[in-house]
Structure 1
Amino acid sequence: MRADNRAALLRGARACLDERGYARTRARHVADAAGVSTAAIGYHFGTTDALLVEALMQGMEEWSAHLGDRLRSVPERPRRDRLAAVWGAVVESFHGYRGVLAASFELMARADEESEIRDRLRPTIEQARRGAALQILGIDPQHDPDRAHRAGAACYALLSGLIVQWLVDPDSVPSGTDLADGLIDTIGD
């Protein structure tokens, strides 16, 4: 039963993150969504914040896997067409993950004040950069770590900016074609 309560709390926390966001979710909300007592949060996670961070990290991992699947399905094409397809797939990957993506920015805002959160996010962001270099640009971090780091940081910056634009005004997010054209106009062909 205890393992079931832990899993129920993670599901409840995820539902609350999607519905309320990080900052507006309280222990009572999560416990009600999970169908358990608030004491179960302390038993399994110590604090509500620890539970929310765990649920958020799982949600981001789920979205990242979804994004990876979408990117792997983009066929090889000439550079401009591939960039357009890749960035289009990136934007499409946001659908169904609005709550998690928004809550991730709430958590990042807290990282400045809470070193534990910052320490947990650092390796996640570095892993995301390496993944972006490989999945978006085909640069293998094992074979060219410096180039992958630079390119992955650029991709991560674009990705983060796209998420912000999509969260604020999803109807005006640039298309994959617009992004590919903008990148090629900026860096050259």
Structure 2
Amino acid sequence: MGHREDLLEGAKRCLLEKGYARTTARDIVAASGTNLASIGYHYGSKEALLNLAFLKVTEEWGDILAEEGEAEQEAEVPAAPLDQFRETWERVIGSFEHSRAVWQLQMEVISRIDSDPELQKALIGPQREGRNGLAETMMGVDPETDPERARVAGLFCQALLAGVMVQWLMDSDSAPSAQDLTDGLKVVLEGRTPAGGGAR
């Protein structure tokens, strides 16, 4: 690898180990075996490098999830929609513990958006692309053949993923399981029970 790739890999490691705010240019140089001048030459600034490194970290998590899903689909008979939903969330939730640093980083980056316009700007396009990836990976909706369905499915998946992530970071003992999410979705689909009685 050249200095450009070494810097990116070093920045990714620093983000996961130290977080966004605590990572210095010297940390990145030490982790990548490069020099301070290389950061400006290849990326313009430390912030630009960290923004790209953050996007790569989240993209790699998504790629792993997609690969695991493809492997399961090849090995099994296609499941019913709710079963597919539960199985997908079993994979996602199962990845939380060893991906904890990724989720902590996500929360830190979100907390910085209001005070860092460049960071916010850097995230807009990838966030929209990420929704399409979630729609395809988690719901089996192809963004190219059905873009509007993929858009709304991606919005739903992203909202659910963020909420589940926060609950797992705060209290993993009471955070939702894949079955909890599936049962909750069933309640939503069944609609509100009339006041004063159960289903008849």
Provide TM-score, normalisation by structure 2: 0.82
1:125 matched residue in structure 2 = 127
Counterparts of 1:1-189 in structure 2, within 5 Å, are 4-72=2-70, 73-74=72-73, 75=76, 76-188=78-190
Instruction: Give distance in 1, aligned partners of 2:109 and 2:172.
Output: 21
Between 1:145-154 and 1:54-63, the stretch displaced more is 145-154
> What residue number does 2:195 align with?
none
- Following superposition, the deviation at residue 55 of structure 1 comes to 1.2
Q: Which runs of 5 or more residues in structure 2 are unaligned?
A: 192-200
Which piece of structure 1 moves more, 61-70 or 133-142? Answer: 133-142
Q: Which has the larger radius of gyration?
A: 2
- Name structure 1 gaps, 5 residues minimum: none
Q: Equivalents in 1 of 2:142, 2:3: separation in Å?
A: 40
What amino acid sits opposite 2:22 in the alignment?
R
Give the drift of 1:179.
1.0
TM-score, length basis structure 1: 0.86
Quick one: distance in 2 between partners of 1:41 and 1:20?
Answer: 18
Equivalent position amino acid for 1:156 in 2: Q
For residues 102-144 of structure 1, the C-alpha deviation after alignment (integer angstroms, 9 at most, x for no partner) is: 2233223322233332222112111122222222222333333
Percent of pairs identical after alignment? Answer: 40
Could you tell me how far 1:95 is from its partner in structure 2?
4.3
Amino acid at match of 2:125: P
Q: Shift of the alpha carbon at 1:4?
A: 2.3
Shift of 1:79: 2.7
| Count of paired positions | 187
Q: CA RMSD in A?
A: 2.1
